[in-house]
């Protein structure tokens, strides 16, 4: 029969052998080991031979319960890791985060879609002045980038896209309905800030789908998007794509006026 010590050693060895991006198995192993090393609570001191036996038996039972709880915790952690190590498991534990008009689906995104541009419904090129006349929210421009090389308005004025070489800033009403969906795998989104506003940095290429104002999700076609910073400025959601790294993205975002 396998002893508790053997079970502990095998569980820790298995945890350290798994290749899971996050959390790292070594961190889980350390957490389990730390829990195993917590001493069992001692029973209050008593006098007399029978009391000593009762105290010893109680400590033994407490120690056994603590070790069983630790083993169960280790098994639960390793089961979660095993789920995360398979496509079916990742799909089962996928999370959905809604932030600044964007739905972030975090789990197993599957193959990356095509990088081919997917224009928004009714998208057309306009001047910055025309865009400001056609939308119901204020359009801001990053001071570090200056005037955009191209401006587009899509879906009846729901989204304005400002473009520079290699950079794209989408602005939209992010207060009520979802506007974009992102399918994300590791590395996971990183919480950060743009001034006083919360932000999400998506560090890797991912799938991006526009969700039309009047539904029709079945007709929406995803495209691949590069690293992106998402934040909200008042009631306006902003999605900056193409900055390359979080430092540059935050610098551009802080200069939005």
Q: Which of 21, 40, 39, 23 is nearest to 31 (CA)?
A: 23
pLDDT, mean of residues 64-86:
47
Which residue pairs from 93-101 have beta carbons closer than 8 angstroms and sit at least 24 positions apart in sequence? 97/189, 97/200, 98/178, 99/198, 99/200, 99/230, 100/174, 100/200, 100/230, 100/231, 100/232, 100/237, 100/238, 100/239, 101/172, 101/173, 101/174, 101/175, 101/177, 101/178, 101/179, 101/180, 101/232, 101/237
Vertex 119: Cα angle to 143 and 179 (nearest 5): 70
Question: Between 69 and 183, whose confidence is greater?
Answer: 183
Which pLDDT belongs to residue 84?
Answer: 47
Angle at 127 (CA atoms; ends 125, 130), nearest 5 degrees: 105
Instruction: Identify the pLDDT of residue 78.
Output: 45
Arithmetic mean of pLDDT over the chain? 78
Provide the pLDDT for residue 214: 79
- Mean pLDDT, to the nearest integer, of 120-141? 96
pLDDT at 169: 98
The DSSP element (H or E) to which 31 belongs, if any, is helix 25-36
The average pLDDT across 207-219 equals 80
How is 163-187 classified by DSSP, letter by letter? EETTEEEEEEE-SSS--EEEEE-SS
Q: Is the model's pLDDT at 75 over the cut of 60?
A: no
- pLDDT value of position 34: 54
237, 249 contact by CB (below 8 A)? no
76: which residues sit within 8 A by CB, 6+ positions away? Answer: none
Tens digits of per-residue pLDDT, 185-204? 999 999 999 999 999 999 99
Banded model confidence at residue 216, pLDDT cuts 50, 70, 90: low
- Residues with Cβ within 8 Å of 74's Cβ and at least 6 positions away in sequence, in order, are 8, 11, 12, 15, 32
């Amino acid at each position: 029969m396998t002893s508790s010590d053997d079970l502990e050693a095998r569980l820790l060895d298995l945890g350290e052998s798994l290749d899971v991006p996050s959390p790292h198995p070594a961190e889980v192993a350390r957490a389990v080991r730390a829990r195993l090393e917590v001493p069992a609570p001692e029973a209050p001191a008593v006098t007399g031979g029978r009391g000593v036996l009762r105290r010893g038996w109680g400590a033994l039972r407490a120690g056994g319960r603590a070790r069983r709880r630790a083993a169960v915790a280790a098994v639960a952690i390793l089961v979660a890791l095993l789920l995360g190590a398979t496509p079916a498991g990742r799909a089962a534990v996928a999370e959905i985060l809604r932030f600044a008009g964007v739905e972030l689906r975090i789990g197993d995104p599957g193959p990356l879609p095509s990088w081919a541009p997917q224009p928004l419904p009714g998208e057309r090129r306009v001047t910055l002045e025309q865009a400001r006349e056609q939308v119901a929210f204020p359009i801001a421009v990053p001071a570090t980038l200056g005037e955009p090389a191209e401006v587009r308005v899509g879906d009846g004025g729901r989204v304005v896209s400002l473009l520079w070489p290699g950079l794209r800033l989408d602005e939209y009403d992010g207060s009520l309905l979802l506007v974009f969906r992102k399918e994300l795998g590791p590395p996971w989104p990183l919480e950060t800030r743009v001034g006083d506003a919360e932000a999400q940095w998506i560090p890797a290429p991912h799938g991006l789908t526009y969700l039309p104002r009047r539904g029709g999700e079945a007709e929406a076609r995803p495209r691949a998007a590069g690293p992106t910073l998402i934040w909200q400025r008042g009631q306006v959601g902003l999605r900056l794509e193409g900055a390359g790294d979080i430092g540059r993205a935050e610098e551009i975002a802080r200069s939005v006026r």
